[in-house]
Structure 1
Amino acid sequence: MEILLENLPNPFVYFIPVFAILILAEVYISYREDKELYDVKDSFASTWVGIGAAILNTLTKVYQIGFFFIIYKLFEPLREQYLGYESLGWAWWVWVLCLVGDDFNFYWHHRFCHTVRLFWAAHIVHHSSEKFNLGTAFRNGWTIFFYKPIYWMWMPALGFDPVMLALCMSFNSIYQFFLHSTLVPDIKGMNKVFNTPWVHQVHHACNVEYLDRNHGGIFIIWDKLFGTYQPREHHIAPKFGVLHPPQSHNPVKLNFHEFSDIWKDVKRAKSWEHKFKYVFYPPGWSPDGSTKTAKQMQQELEMQLNAVPVTPVSNNREQAVS
């Protein structure tokens, strides 16, 4: 296990200068063209959240890789007996499969982060900024690292080397950094297969039309396959942030305010069924409909848009008066 970790390179180290240069360039363009892409307090909040996430990611790396390694070794006899191999190896096509499989896992992990309130509580910090810029990419939740590897466990079981898997997960995260910018125009051909900054704006918007859409990491094909794709409409400008912002730049509150709100709702709930639903149903669920989920709001919006407008007819008395 120690040898495994010693031989595991960290691609992020090589990209830090690139990240820094691009953020500074975006800040400069924002200032020069008066785009207001950055806010001082918001940027400091993203920085501190990002530092905390980086520290926790480093501290949990042993746990994550160790978890993959245990699964990898545990299923080795079964692979030999039923599949005829110990490991899938390091061929180029295995790398391709690993990248695709990793992004498939990320899609479902990310989708559940938006549709299960407990997981949303861990993820909401990434969406709480009302600014959409490259600095937002580092605004990651501090608790996600503890449960995220569960979605990936089938891959080491199937024979993907834990080091290869960890590297593919890092490559996915690096790619997603470049998605967080409004300065990149619509690249229509690329949008057919890959996630792009233009498409990712939809994911970070809190417009009802855009809620819970475009969950893919590198590829956007998962959203198209599983019904969560929403193109960025030119006539609907994205409003970034969340429907109920935390009203704070404190990194601790940004990470844990939704957990606190869940606890308050659970204590107030009158039945165990409602307590369960407050935790595991989509964000916004309520037993009396006083708050609504994204799907409920989208259904109501669709009904409003499809409603046939009725022209009011004046009665005889009104006509006589006029």
Structure 2
Amino acid sequence: MEILLENLPNPFVYFVPIFFILILAEVYISYREDKELYDLKDSFASGWVGIGAAILNTLTKMYQIGFFFLFYKLFEPLREEFLGYSSLGWAWWVWALCLIGDDFNFYWHHRFCHTVRLFWAAHIVHHSSEKFNLGTAFRNGWTIFLYKPIYWIWLPALGFNPIMLALCMSFNSIYQFFLHSTLVPDLGWFGKVFNTPRVHQVHHASNVEYLDRNHGGILIIWDKLFGTFQSREEHIPPKFGVIHPPNSNNPVKLNFHEFIDIWNDVKRAKSWKDKFKYVFYPPGWSPDGSTKTSKQLQKELASQSDANSSEKILTV
């Protein structure tokens, strides 16, 4: 089966009407039940950020697929010599493997976006809203498309057709749109394997208990395998947003404020080692501990909880 690059279908075209119908339905429910799920300025910010992301994604699509084709062709002789095939083809099981491989890859890409400050600077815009609604799904960073394909090159190198990979990445993004809602209840057994809106609420929360958890795209099993899964606790309602909010609805500031903060920290750093750490260590790292990473904050919280528990026992 041969698909020409210029005829690459765009699944988003078919889903955009569904997206907007669901957003309008969510707005109506929010208004009718006084849930305050939407804020006008915040929604406009998400819209403008989303439009910018869509334009940049379209402009870089050829670059991304061309990048995949480069490694697809570059490794073709090695596949033929050592693996006995030139391409994995288009069979249904290859599609299934590609979807799983893409989702596995998305997990690690997403996790690094939360644990490497430079990548967090590109991703933070998606978490900057203090509202969690379907419109938030469009709030994607404008710079993330520049480096994101690097994580995926091993898939075309193994023989997955770049067109297939691009479609699987699109399907993953489409699925994730439906995760951004507080109106969907617990989905029971489905949420044991697949990512759900309830699970994704934890990911978007700025509560210390919930920081850097649930990075999966379609499947949540990666978080369970690699120790980053956190269920939503009834006694800890999620507080959406980020610990250090940009306090702005300007789409340009939303996309670049963390890069500016990194630059200012690097300029103030007293050694090259600290300059490096400000860029590549987890968000919140500082040489003097004046600001803390999520792991440091969670460790402090755990120590405080243990101390409180011990105090209660002694009191009893």
Q: Which residue matches 1:181?
A: 181
Q: Does residue 262 of structure 1 match 2:240? A: no
SS at match of 2:193: coil
In 2, Cα distance between the equivalents of 1:311 and 1:109? 43
In 2, Cα distance between the equivalents of 1:281 and 1:75? 33
Q: Could you give the per-residue CA deviations for residues 37-81 of structure 1, whole angstroms, max 9, x where no partner exists? A: 000000000000000000000000010000000100111111111
Q: Which residue matches 1:219?
A: 219
Q: Which residue matches 2:55?
A: 55
Q: Does residue 309 of structure 1 match 2:286? A: no
In 1, Cα distance between the equivalents of 2:97 and 2:91? 10
In 2, Cα distance between the equivalents of 1:70 and 1:157? 9
In 2, Cα distance between the equivalents of 1:6 and 1:286? 48
In 1, Cα distance between the equivalents of 2:7 and 2:189? 38
Whichever residue aligns with residue 136 of structure 2, its letter is: T
Q: Which residue matches 1:171?
A: 171
Whichever residue aligns with residue 232 of structure 1, its letter is: R
In 2, Cα distance between the equivalents of 1:305 and 1:312? 14
In 2, Cα distance between the equivalents of 1:215 and 1:303? 25
* Structure 1 position 310, deviation (Å): 6.5
Q: Which residue matches 1:319?
A: none
In 1, Cα distance between the equivalents of 2:71 and 2:7? 19
Whichever residue aligns with residue 215 of structure 1, its letter is: H
After superposition, residues 237-256 of structure 1 pair within 5 angstroms as 237-256=237-256
Q: Which residue matches 2:272?
A: 272
Whichever residue aligns with residue 266 of structure 2, its letter is: V
* Structure 1 position 5, deviation (Å): 2.3
* Structure 1 position 312, deviation (Å): 9.6
Whichever residue aligns with residue 170 of structure 1, its letter is: S
Whichever residue aligns with residue 280 of structure 1, its letter is: F
Query: Could you tell me the TM-score, scaled by structure 2's length?
Result: 0.97
Whichever residue aligns with residue 84 of structure 2, its letter is: G
Share of identical aligned residues, percent? Answer: 84
Query: Could you tell me the TM-score, scaled by structure 1's length?
Result: 0.95
In 2, Cα distance between the equivalents of 1:81 and 1:281? 40
Q: After TM superposition, which residue ranges in structure 1, 4 or more long, deviate above 3 angstroms? A: 310-313
In 2, Cα distance between the equivalents of 1:234 and 1:91? 44
Whichever residue aligns with residue 289 of structure 2, its letter is: G
Whichever residue aligns with residue 7 of structure 1, its letter is: N
Root-mean-square deviation (CA, aligned residues, Å) is: 1.2
Q: Which residue matches 1:283?
A: 283
Which structure: larger Rg? 1
SS at match of 2:189: helix
In 1, Cα distance between the equivalents of 2:37 and 2:237? 15
Structure 1: gaps of 5 or more residues: 314-322
* Structure 1 position 4, deviation (Å): 3.4
After superposition, residues 1-322 of structure 1 pair within 5 angstroms as 4-307=4-307, 308-309=310-311
In 2, Cα distance between the equivalents of 1:76 and 1:269? 46
* Structure 1 position 188, deviation (Å): 2.1
* Structure 1 position 311, deviation (Å): 8.9
* Structure 1 position 98, deviation (Å): 0.2
In 2, Cα distance between the equivalents of 1:166 and 1:7? 13
* Structure 1 position 286, deviation (Å): 0.3
In 1, Cα distance between the equivalents of 2:102 and 2:64? 14
In 2, Cα distance between the equivalents of 1:268 and 1:176? 39
Whichever residue aligns with residue 290 of structure 1, its letter is: S
Q: Could you give the per-residue CA deviations for residues 145-198 of structure 1, whole angstroms, max 9, x where no partner exists? A: 000001100000000000000000000000000000000001121111000000
Q: How many residues align?
A: 311
* Structure 1 position 299, deviation (Å): 0.4
Whichever residue aligns with residue 295 of structure 1, its letter is: K
In 2, Cα distance between the equivalents of 1:310 and 1:160? 58
Structure 2: gaps of 5 or more residues: none
Whichever residue aligns with residue 48 of structure 2, its letter is: W
SS at match of 1:188: coil
Q: Could you give the per-residue CA deviations for residues 201-241 of structure 1, whole angstroms, max 9, x where no partner exists? A: 00000000000000000000000000000001111100000
